[in-house]
Structure 1
Amino acid sequence: MNRLVTRQSRLRKPSRRELALFALLAAFIAVIEPFEPYDWLQSSVTAAINAKDYEGNAIIVAIDEETERNLPSRSWTRSELAALLTKLGQSEPEVILVDQQYFQDEDSSSLAELSAALEALPERPYWHVELSPEAAGSLSESAPAMDADSFVDSSAALDPALANRVRPAVATMRSYAFGAPIFVPLAVEQDGGPVPSFATILAGGTRGAERNVINVDLSYRPGTIPSVSAAEVLAEDFDTSVFENRPVIVSFTSTLGRDTRDTPNDTYTEKAAVWVMAAETLIRGPPRVLGWVPTFLIAVLAGLAWMYLPRPYGRIVAGVAFVGIALSPIVFEQHLIFVQTSHGLFLLLILAIAKLWQRGQGAVRTYRSAAETKSRFLAQASHDLRQPIHAIGLLAERLSQTDLSDDQAKLVSKISWSVDNASRMFRALLDIAAIESGTLQTDIRPVAMNELLAGIDSQNALSAEQANVDLRLVPCDLMVRTDPALIGTMIQNLVSNAIKYSPGKGVLVGCRMKAGRLAIYVVDNGRGISSSDMEHVKKEFFRSSRKSTLSSENKGLGLAIVNRLADMLHVKLTLRSEEGRGTVATIEGLEVVEQEDAKAAANADRPLPLSGLRVALADDDEETLASTRGLLEQWGCTVQTFAQLPEDLPDCDILLSDYDFGGGSTLAGRHDLVLQAEETGTQIIIISGHHPAQIRETIASHSGLILAKPLRAAELRSALMAARQG
């Protein structure tokens, strides 16, 4: 009992929505029948797989091309048929069936000759009766079989000259695409009563068939059905014992499309051969048709098992059921048990598609959740670690400007290098997190290239000087439509990489028109990128396998950020490099806009004195506050410090402020200070660990600089000089 409870508890419990959708799907497939072509195709494939030789005793006398070539008039006439029937009658066949005839003569003498030949036969032959479209269309696959004992011997549809000398028989059939299936009737209701079909005559009766229309077993190879050319019979070039006590069908076989049918084992199968197959089906059967219900019920049970059983058992049951249903015709139809599988197969197939879609949606939701969690974690971690690193950088900068011994100066230099390295890493992580989370939005507007290049020059002048790199920027008076902050970040990353990997050499930044748009080039003659690394350098955290003293600084994020920003700005980043000779990085596709009064930007790398600059410094971190104050005073600034945002704007030139002061207090809540700064012309520079895009969303009226922590001293000095100048 405990085991039973345990097993039951392991069953899945599908939601009501799943069960309702499954029930709706099953009902929809059960009500309509849109999949019949699949059953036809499967029946054709099954017949070809189960192909077998005909071993019955029926024989076909073929009125073929050879027959017509040997005729005196080169055409088939009633006289020729009379001669053929006379010679067949002498062979004492069991029964003769004459299929539809196409005569060329109309004279009464040939008709009298045919009547005499029919009269002389030991047994009246069966003659093909043409059905009207109404009679052919009235054939029902579910109608009960007609009584074999009540078949009429004559029909008003026959030629009066032949009516008393032949017995009527029908040779109609219904075929579908792919050569299968083919349905034939056992009998057709005509004037005076039911008329037997060729299949019934050849089989010697209805053989206990329950339905009047049967599905023909098409697995017989048509080439194995005995056939003799009528030319050989007319020339008496045959063994008369061939026809003795055998059913004989006289039929045209020369006109393709009219006297042939497509079947699985032969594209041009004689209609007479199809009737032989139908008769053999009756003799071996009669066939049973299970329809679509049994396989559909199996599919329903397999679908429910798939929904209730735990993985992977449900899928195994459904898979076994699918394969079993698909292969069942191959097993059953060779025993004349015809089954339709399309309903069951399509039910399981659609259920599988629905489950794959459901799993795909779940995977997408999981991925999105994981990506958002990762982005939030990176943003929060980089923000929290920026503050202490920022303070360490300022303290190291102050310490480097004191009296130090050579060993102490080297230690401070290494500390500064480590802080700069960590700062770049956290800034890159925050940028990637902002891009992935979607918080980074573009602000497209006209941007003067000279102003953009001047900012790049000021940001990289110090690092270029320290690396002994000749950094040159070619002025460009054009204006482009783009996001100034994002395009600036892209160029800055490229220039920073170029300086880093070209120590003691040169870096050139310039612009050129290309295909009607502006392209920005960053060219260096440094060590270059190997061909094996070129296809990977744009990926996150990729680091070259080559040994380098700079490898510890390379976190593999710079080009990844540039590549993602290029997608956001709808521009193209291309790299061309030759190992040992340098690299050319190109930002292509910038839209050029007209400028009415463009002024060249001032050279930002020209040092401007900061002495006398009045700075109000607001930061809730004591160490950061003290370190920044000492650094500003060393540069000649007059500094006022505030541990919290001041009630009123101090008398100053620049308010250098943090954004978040803890306890829910942020600069966004002090719109009065921003308003006072606008009225007095005081510039506000924000230094924060939050992403600039988030800050600008909360302080829409602020158009000044927003610097990201951790901040290098050179960046702060450049910002102060630019603010004082502008």
Structure 2
Amino acid sequence: MRNIPAEIVNYMKSSGDAEVAKSEATEGVNLERFLKAFFDQVPAILYIKDDAGRYVKINPHCEATFQVTDSQARGTTDHDHFPAEFAEVFRRNDQLVLETGGFHTFEEIAVVDGVEHAFLARKFRVSDDRNGKHYVCGISTDISSFKRSEQELAAAKFEAERASRAKSQFLAAISHDMRQPIQAASLFLGVLDGRIGDPKAREVLERVKTSIDSVHGMLGDLLDLSRLDAALIKPAPKPIQLKPMLERLHAEFAPQAELKRLSLRTVPTNATVATDPELLDRILRNLLANAVSYTARGGILLGCRRAGDSVRIVVADTGPGIPDSHQQHIFEEFYQVGNAERDRSRGFGLGLAIVRRIADMLEHPVAVRSQLGRGSAFSVRVPLAATAPRVSDSGTEAPSSSRNDRTNSRPVLLVEDDPAVLSAMVMLLEEWGLSVVTAGSIEELETCIREQTVPPSLIIADYRLPGETTGTDAVALARSMVTADLPGIILTGDTDPARLREAHANHTRLLHKPIQAHQLQQVIAKILDGAVEEAMTKQQDGAKT
């Protein structure tokens, strides 16, 4: 194999510092021989081209890769070895290096054994000051396997995202179709609840309500997953005392446990932790619901254990236990253990998936210990608070009171195209003492607003309206015709996270069907009470000026 070109050797010699030159002189190192050994043995493609693009030298690795010897390559150009489109790219890259004199990195494609390969090419310019000649030195590495892995990962990611979108679209569509009739039934039950006094009739009513509530809970789990996917749930941690929260959960789940002849014991605690009370409440509620559902005999324990600068809140049961092989999967969506017959009373298998999602968001580690035939213990680790809570911070907020005898001189706009839901909503709103103006479409809404002599206090609209219009359009129209800060509520059965983001951006309250009558009443009361307080504040400010 020919020696390294003299110009390159001279360049390397002139580039060395005084210490290197001294070392070479004293130790008898032959730089040209050293460079030749490096050039021949390095496991990468090395090549040198002159300023006309002709090969001056290639190393053995380059020879083996492209099946051409150094002597065959000398004096030839890339056009002699590669397809024109690739050769022209190489030449453009080389010219850039020659013109700028800098160190450049390119991703280039070359044909090896009839197959296109990707190479990472690092190129720099070498100049001979004696004759003014410039050379391009290149080091290329085959990155085809990395590129294939990258493409496979990208394809897998795309497929996973496509599957996730398909799942979300399916859940959104089916939940919307289910929510419409359930919403109407729930609202009618709300009307009947205040009108039925006969004990037997009330017993039937309560059983119907229980069935509706069961379906409502299942759809609520789907909604929670959508909200978490949409990243709209923002934790608001603060110092809270655990005792009131645990007492409230005990009071709620004790009757359910008694129905199955289970004991529910809660260990008192004075711990104060730093967390979002509503989200922690949801975690513990799901864990307790699971414990009650899967435990056939024995009991359930709710308690706390100090663990350094944190507290482990434990929900333990004497249920059947969870096999080791299932313990890593129970936090996956729709995964259930011991429910092959898909007993709907045990839900969809979303409770623990929601627990894990919320816990990860709060950075509260969740753990499970279980022994077959003896039971399971789920725990969530919550940091202790550095400061004491305010008197009002005792867990989750108490629901706002709502008045059944509310009277409101300003009407509520109701936009709904489903006759059953519209009828139930009107009956319910009027039952609460509200004046209602209805519309079945955007066009009807515009007419109603023009005919009103008293401006509305609130607009409630279904999301899906006729003619490809939406509740968002209805709220926007009402605000443009009445006032920009008109409160708006949108009812939807669509769990698509985009709906949540859209409502959040438009400062509109989004309620998912089926919403229970008392929940709707609380939301409306809070909005109308807030509007009254704001109006009074503005009046007082006006009087002062």
Pairwise TM-score range, normalised by the shorter structure: 0.5 to 0.7
TM-score, with length taken from structure 2: 0.55
Determine if the alignment matches structure 1 residue 445 to structure 2 residue 237.
yes
Determine if the alignment matches structure 1 residue 493 to structure 2 residue 493.
no
For residues 569 and 135 of structure 1, what CA distance do their matches in structure 2 show? 65
Q: Could you say which residue in structure 2 is the equivalent of 1:626?
A: 423
Q: Could you say which residue in structure 1 is the equivalent of 2:512?
A: 708
| Equivalent residue runs for 1:603-622 within 5 Å | 611-613=404-406, 618=414, 620=416, 621-622=418-419
Judging changes above 3 Å, is the alpha-carbon distance between structure 1 residues 491 and 548 closer, same or farther for their aligned structure 2 residues? same
Look up the SS of the partner of 2:391 in the other structure: coil
Look up the SS of the partner of 2:385 in the other structure: strand
1:543, 1:554 within 8 Å by CA — same for their partners in 2? no
| 1:610 to partner: Cα distance | 6.0
1:448, 1:598 within 8 Å by CA — same for their partners in 2? no
Judging changes above 3 Å, is the alpha-carbon distance between structure 1 residues 660 and 447 closer, same or farther for their aligned structure 2 residues? farther
1:457, 1:605 within 8 Å by CA — same for their partners in 2? no
Judging changes above 3 Å, is the alpha-carbon distance between structure 1 residues 606 and 412 closer, same or farther for their aligned structure 2 residues? closer
Look up the SS of the partner of 1:588 in the other structure: strand
Q: Could you say which residue in structure 1 is the equivalent of 2:501?
A: 694
Q: Could you say which residue in structure 2 is the equivalent of 1:192?
A: none
The one-letter amino acid of 2:240's match is A
Judging changes above 3 Å, is the alpha-carbon distance between structure 1 residues 476 and 291 closer, same or farther for their aligned structure 2 residues? closer
The one-letter amino acid of 1:697's match is H
The one-letter amino acid of 2:421's match is T
Determine if the alignment matches structure 1 residue 295 to structure 2 residue 64.
yes
Q: Could you say which residue in structure 2 is the equivalent of 1:660?
A: 463
Judging changes above 3 Å, is the alpha-carbon distance between structure 1 residues 315 and 557 closer, same or farther for their aligned structure 2 residues? farther
Determine if the alignment matches structure 1 residue 599 to structure 2 residue 396.
no
Determine if the alignment matches structure 1 residue 577 to structure 2 residue 370.
yes
Q: Select which of 563, 577, 596 maps to 2:356.
A: 563
Q: Could you say which residue in structure 2 is the equivalent of 1:167?
A: none
Look up the SS of the partner of 2:182 in the other structure: helix
Deviations 1:52-71 (A, max 9, x none): xxxxxxxxxxxxxxxxxxxx
| 1:372 to partner: Cα distance | 3.9
For residues 399 and 361 of structure 2, what CA distance do their matches in structure 1 show? 33
Q: Could you say which residue in structure 1 is the equivalent of 2:14?
A: none
Deviations 1:647-704 (A, max 9, x none): 76778xxx79456373344386467789577xxxxxx9875446695376235597xx
Judging changes above 3 Å, is the alpha-carbon distance between structure 1 residues 392 and 303 closer, same or farther for their aligned structure 2 residues? farther
| 1:608 to partner: Cα distance | 8.4
Q: Select which of 513, 516, 536 maps to 2:309.
A: 516
For residues 429 and 257 of structure 2, what CA distance do their matches in structure 1 show? 23
Q: Which moved more, 1:464-473 or 1:443-452?
A: 464-473
The one-letter amino acid of 1:623's match is A
Q: Select which of 223, 226, 232 maps to 1:430.
A: 223
Determine if the alignment matches structure 1 residue 643 to structure 2 residue 446.
no
For residues 498 and 175 of structure 1, what CA distance do their matches in structure 2 show? 74
Q: Could you say which residue in structure 2 is the equivalent of 1:79?
A: none
Q: Which 5+ residue runs of structure 2 have no aligned equivalent?
A: 1-7, 10-23, 43-57, 69-77, 87-110, 118-136, 440-444, 531-545
2:321, 2:376 within 8 Å by CA — same for their partners in 1? yes
Look up the SS of the partner of 1:491 in the other structure: helix
The one-letter amino acid of 2:420's match is E
For residues 529 and 271 of structure 2, what CA distance do their matches in structure 1 show? 22
The one-letter amino acid of 1:711's match is I
For residues 440 and 528 of structure 1, what CA distance do their matches in structure 2 show? 35
Look up the SS of the partner of 1:592 in the other structure: coil
Identical counterparts, % of pairs: 24
The one-letter amino acid of 1:298's match is Q
**Which of 1 and 2 has greater Rg?**
1
1:464, 1:471 within 8 Å by CA — same for their partners in 2? yes
For residues 306 and 31 of structure 2, what CA distance do their matches in structure 1 show? 79
Q: Could you say which residue in structure 1 is the equivalent of 2:105?
A: none
The one-letter amino acid of 1:494's match is L
Q: Could you say which residue in structure 2 is the equivalent of 1:554?
A: 347
Q: Which 5+ residue runs of structure 1 have no aligned equivalent?
A: 1-31, 34-131, 142-172, 182-288, 308-313, 321-342, 678-683
| 1:377 to partner: Cα distance | 4.6
For residues 619 and 467 of structure 1, what CA distance do their matches in structure 2 show? 44
Count of residues in correspondence between the two structures = 413
| 1:562 to partner: Cα distance | 1.1
2:311, 2:384 within 8 Å by CA — same for their partners in 1? yes
1:576, 1:584 within 8 Å by CA — same for their partners in 2? yes
Q: Select which of 175, 183, 198 maps to 1:382.
A: 175
For residues 338 and 112 of structure 2, what CA distance do their matches in structure 1 show? 45
Look up the SS of the partner of 2:222 in the other structure: helix
For residues 506 and 575 of structure 1, what CA distance do their matches in structure 2 show? 17
The one-letter amino acid of 2:512's match is A
The one-letter amino acid of 2:234's match is T
| 1:350 to partner: Cα distance | 2.4
Deviations 1:242-285 (A, max 9, x none): xxxxxxxxxxxxxxxxxxxxxxxxxxxxxxxxxxxxxxxxxxxx
